[in-house]
Chain A
């Protein structure tokens, strides 16, 4: 139960940061997808099922603050969360490079899913070189912030009975 509250807080914090801090901190006019990076961390920690569900909820929360159709981020985050969860099952060892690597590749994959789904539902100009440029910059940015976001979110996603989970001292 407490884990769900923690993950709920992660969603709120990501939405607030995405709509405030990262509207200022942009590289060539492009911001990162902090919500997507959090989804990658949860999927890596807890597998494909949780990754997809958490991705869907996170995407939906972000969608409420965008002018693109509601459900577009939910779709791309859910698919990306699922894919990372499946990938995670095959990973034997964690390396220090895992967070930025997964942040970059996952961010790029999520961006491509977003663009493809957007183009399919009729969003103008989604299949263009400029959109690809945006996705590339955003995924680079995702790789950078993943270094900070991954450890925090993975810890928040740990099950309450896990030895390294956060606990309230009584």
Chain B
């Protein structure tokens, strides 16, 4: 009898815990301010300990990383030199289009990267989860970072590459969702020569570092997605990202179930595993 009662109490405890967990999941999925505050508070409490641990761990990890990648870095260096030469010629061609685009943006009064100021931050560590792709940066709300801000690398005057979006912020740190995370998505269009090609969405995929570009605009039924086409953010008046941030380049087309292949896979322009310094854009610009 006693054993039976004990078993029942044990099961009741588990059932209560499961119900509480499901309630929390449901609350978080709906976007609760209370849970956001709890996350921020927890990160504020733990971040001094994380900083302390990172100060000890990071130099050792970097040293081992450098040791293991010495040969790979040498090959990469040669490859990058070749790519640099190619890129220089592409830049020359792109300059003309950029000038035309700037003129059009001025006429249409679209918000651009220039309207937002950047906050430079160090990448402290990659994310802790196995099923999400995130990284942590060394600045938070004390530096003016707000949830939702886009994160880029590169020079915002000559062109920047989108690497992620801020998803949670504590006083001294922020967590950034990478563009190859399965929950990431952004409006994009391809740049084909001097013109804009088909528009669609670029989304992260589970189990792959490549993004999927899906054409969604009706007018582009016969769109041709060519290897090497560069995808840039669509932007717009009410968009979360400014226009013309480089996302990635088309690696290959993939079937989308129809007669005409309208999807493609994009390789991010930057190596998202090797980020060291990023820029958080204050976008949309806060009035």
Question: Which residues of A are at the interface with B, using a C-beta cutoff of 8 A?
Answer: 12, 15-24, 30-31, 33, 48-49, 52-53, 55-56, 59-62, 64-72, 74-75, 78-79, 82, 114-115, 117-118, 121-126, 128-131, 133-134, 138
1/0 contact trace for B24-46 toward A, CB 8 Å? 11111100000100110011001
In Å, the complex CA distance between A70 and B136 comes to 18
In Å, the complex CA distance between A72 and B35 comes to 13
Contacts of A31 in B (CB 8 A): 128, 130
B125-139 CB contacts (< 8 Å) to partner A: 125-132, 134, 136
Shortest beta-carbon distance from B203 to chain A in Å = 9
Q: Is B49 an interface residue (CB 8 A)?
A: yes
Shortest beta-carbon distance from A60 to chain B in Å = 8
Shortest beta-carbon distance from A94 to chain B in Å = 22
Contacts of B38 in A (CB 8 A): 64, 70
Q: Is B182 an interface residue (CB 8 A)?
A: yes
Q: Is B131 a contact of A74 with CB atoms below 8 Å?
A: no
The closest CB in chain B to the CB of A111 belongs to: B130
Contacts of A129 in B (CB 8 A): 207
Please list 18 pairs of residues, one from A and one from B, whose beta carbons are closer than 8 Å in the complex, sorted by A's number.
A16-B46, A19-B46, A33-B130, A56-B17, A60-B24, A65-B128, A66-B129, A67-B134, A67-B167, A70-B28, A72-B21, A74-B24, A75-B22, A121-B25, A124-B182, A124-B183, A126-B206, A133-B207
6 extra A-B contacts, CB within 8 A, seeds A23-B127, A65-B43, A67-B168? A24-B58, A53-B13, A64-B43, A66-B132, A67-B127, A131-B206
In Å, the complex CA distance between A113 and B14 comes to 14
Shortest beta-carbon distance from A1 to chain B in Å = 21
The closest CB in chain A to the CB of B132 belongs to: A67
**Chain A interface mostly:** helix
Contacts of B129 in A (CB 8 A): 66-68
Contacts of B167 in A (CB 8 A): 67
In Å, the complex CA distance between A137 and B185 comes to 28
Q: Is B143 an interface residue (CB 8 A)?
A: no
In Å, the complex CA distance between A62 and B21 comes to 13
